[in-house]
Amino acid sequence: MEEPPSGSRPFLLLPAMSDILRIHQRLLSAYGDPPRPHQDPLAVLVSTILSQNTSDVNRDRAYERMQARFPTWEAVRDAPLEDL
Residue 56 region by backbone torsions, left for phi larger than 0, else alpha for psi between -120 and 50, else beta: alpha
Classify residue 21: in a domain, yes or no. Answer: no
Classify residue 46: in a domain, yes or no. Answer: yes
Classify residue 12: in a domain, yes or no. Answer: no
Look up residue 42 and give its amino acid.
Answer: L
Classify residue 78: in a domain, yes or no. Answer: yes
Query: How far is the C-alpha of 30 from the C-alpha of 41, rounded, in Å?
Result: 31
Q: What is the per-residue pLDDT for 5?
A: 59
Classify residue 76: in a domain, yes or no. Answer: yes
Domain with 74 in it:
41-83
* 6-18 confidence digits (pLDDT tens): 666 677 888 999 9
Domains: count for the chain: 1
Classify residue 27: in a domain, yes or no. Answer: no
Separation in Å, CA 24 to CA 17, 35, 59, 60, 71: 10, 16, 36, 35, 41
Banded pLDDT at 38 (limits 50, 70, 90):
confident
Classify residue 30: in a domain, yes or no. Answer: no
Q: Is the Cβ–Cβ distance between 2 and 17 less than 8 Å?
A: no
Q: What is the per-residue pLDDT for 37?
A: 83
